[in-house]
Chain A
Amino acid sequence: MITSEKTPRETTEDPVMVDTATAPPAAPAGPTGPAGPGRRLTRRERRAWDEVPRWQLYVPLSLYLLFTLVPFYWMLLFALRPAGSSSLVPWPITLEHFDKVWNERSFALFFQNSLIVGVASLLMTTLVALAGGYALARFSFRIKRGFMLALLCSQFIPGALMLVPLFQIFAELRMINSLASVVIAETVFQLPLSMILISGFIKNVPYTLEEAAWVDGCSRFRAFCAVVLPLLRPGLIAVGSFAFVHSWNHFLFALMFLSDQDKQTIPVGLNTLMGADSVDLGALAAGGVIAAVPVVIVFAFIQKWLITGFSAGAVKG
């Protein structure tokens, strides 16, 4: 089938020839060809193929939305309504639980620690994976196959089961109770997948673009920064936000490596709240909201990139 995407558009010359295969003859009347009225027509045509009875779409979707959103609502409800209330609407709104959790249960501190761990892991993962991914995408060298295999195999190594040996290593390095231990552990377990993803993204950038920049006198490093890096933006956003969300959320490393109260992260704080003898549900819910806010913001921001980032070559390598 003829599609107009790959052929260079000669808009003034003969638009009809380009478009006959996909659009009715009325379409190419506009000066901009396929971008103008033609597009609307093809979309309407698509609707005819796509047409699923609307109820088959909306009924399961609404049910699933209910399943997704009710738990979130339940948490908000407990966080915002006064203690002892059993109303199903958070009214009157109270912030007493947030005040308690933020100040008395030191979530302010946990929040700060989690933020440090998240941002540091993000930067470290992205930088190291960018360097390694570039090497994997652009060079062939002797240990490349072995290295790729090691990256893939490392996906099967259970992070949770590495707790004991990692603890011993960090103890020897005198890094127990320092946020750096968690940052390193998170980075290490994020690296393999990030590197595979990034090398896939770099492979999608034509090498000739870089070579052209060299001809212009750019060094390899400068050519990379000026030509490749801007094109990697969606991929880097996806990889970076994986790293951030993952380390913001991760629980066991922080639980194991950080024993001082003032070094703990939000998931550990939540676990402490849950483990208390009589659980303060309001405080727990407020803590949950605090834990959710940053990742929800990140998620809302990257949601679209996430899907394109994946399809840009993640799974297919």
Chain B
Amino acid sequence: MAQDTAVAPPGRKPPPAGKPARRRTGTTTPRRLPYLLIAPAGLLMVGFIAYPVISVFYYSLQHYNPTKPWRNGFAGFDNYVKAFTEDPDFWRTLTFSFQWVFAEVTLQLLFGLALALIVNQTFIGRGVARAMVFSPWAVSGVLTSTIWLLLYNSQTGLTRYLADVGVGEHGTSWLSDPTTVFPAVVVAELWRGVPFFAILILADLQSIPKDLYEAAEVDGATRFQQFFHITLPHLKDAIILATLLRAVWEFNNVDLLYTLTGGGPAGETTTLPLRIAGIAVDSHDFGYASALTTVAFVILLFCSIVYLRLSKFGGEDK
């Protein structure tokens, strides 16, 4: 980089910031330095994100199945037509994806917000309590599956003890019963997902100037008024961003469902991405999987734009 310039003695401390410094960007910086700096990131992203995205578009217009090479070739929109008209699983998995995302994001937001408000208070043992309630943040989808598989086991799980006191039935696992499987997976994912919201919201809570509350207090505002007129408006952008990122993430996330239910029982918990992964792994119909991928991507992008528009993200500040 810039080692060619004369090197100052090592360990020299910079003078305080007040010293008048001339802009020397022009002299010490070759014009191509910023490009050199973003080059590694740019190359990686072109090679391993942009190129794959383009190839997904390309394959979605092809019949492409390594196990049936005689059928390979240009398909036009056949794969898309198949998804929308012939494949009942497409609509079913798409509907379930929306249910899944909606349930997860709403519940995670509500619990995360409540949790952040609680651990933002001053009380004894706050540090320990924070560390404990946030800890599932670090846990993977597969590990979450591991843990909840142990809890939901019909013979030895916690649910057996719950059945003893009248919650649920003996002998059937919550994960194999179509009526209980949805709440069961939602709770498992909730356990891991709430800390994400709580951490983000807590960070933002701490940036609210304290004097706003003091002023509200002087004016006689109740706690509820303070919450709805100070806290919530301040958190708005963070909440919009967090819900959006989380919705995209939950939509795409397949680790937990793949390992906990495998999409079952009887396809009850198969999301669209899970089905795509299944098609790619089992039937190797890469062309069709690519078409579904494209559809999923377009849906995500469309919903995100609509969401940002409707919620007027960042609108009031600027």
Complexed CA–CA distance, A310 and B5 (Å): 36
B2 & A248 in contact (Cβ 8 Å cutoff): no
B113 within 8 Å of A (CB atoms): no
Which chain B residues in 104-148 approach chain A with CB under 8 Å?
111, 114-115, 118-119, 121-123, 129-143, 145-148
A135 & B140 in contact (Cβ 8 Å cutoff): no
Residues of A within 8 Å of B163, CB to CB, are none
Interface magnitude class on chain B: 35 or more
Residues of B within 8 Å of A93, CB to CB, are none
Closest residue on chain A to residue B240 by CB atoms: A315
- The majority secondary structure among interface residues of chain B is helix
A270 & B122 in contact (Cβ 8 Å cutoff): no
Complexed CA–CA distance, A271 and B259 (Å): 6
B31 shortest CB reach to chain A, Å: 8
- Specify which of A86, A162, A307 is in contact with B199 (CB 8 Å cutoff): A307
Complexed CA–CA distance, A160 and B252 (Å): 7
Residues of A within 8 Å of B273, CB to CB, are 158, 160-161
Residues of B within 8 Å of A121, CB to CB, are none
A91 within 8 Å of B (CB atoms): no
B146 & A52 in contact (Cβ 8 Å cutoff): no
Which chain B residues in 262-302 approach chain A with CB under 8 Å?
273, 276-277, 280, 286, 289-290, 293, 296-297, 300-301
A161 & B151 in contact (Cβ 8 Å cutoff): no
- Specify which of A52, A131, A141, A306 is in contact with B121 (CB 8 Å cutoff): A52
B110 shortest CB reach to chain A, Å: 12
B7, B135, B253: residue with the most chain A Cβ atoms closer than 10 Å: B135
Chain A: residues with CB nearer than 8 A to chain B?
1, 3, 46-47, 49-50, 52, 54, 57-58, 60-61, 64-65, 67-72, 74-75, 78, 86, 128-129, 131-132, 134-136, 138-139, 141, 144, 147, 150, 154-166, 168-169, 184-185, 187-189, 191-192, 195, 206, 208-209, 211-223, 226-227, 245, 248-252, 267, 270-271, 273-274, 279, 281, 284-285, 287-288, 291-292, 295-296, 298-300, 303, 306-308, 310-311, 314-316
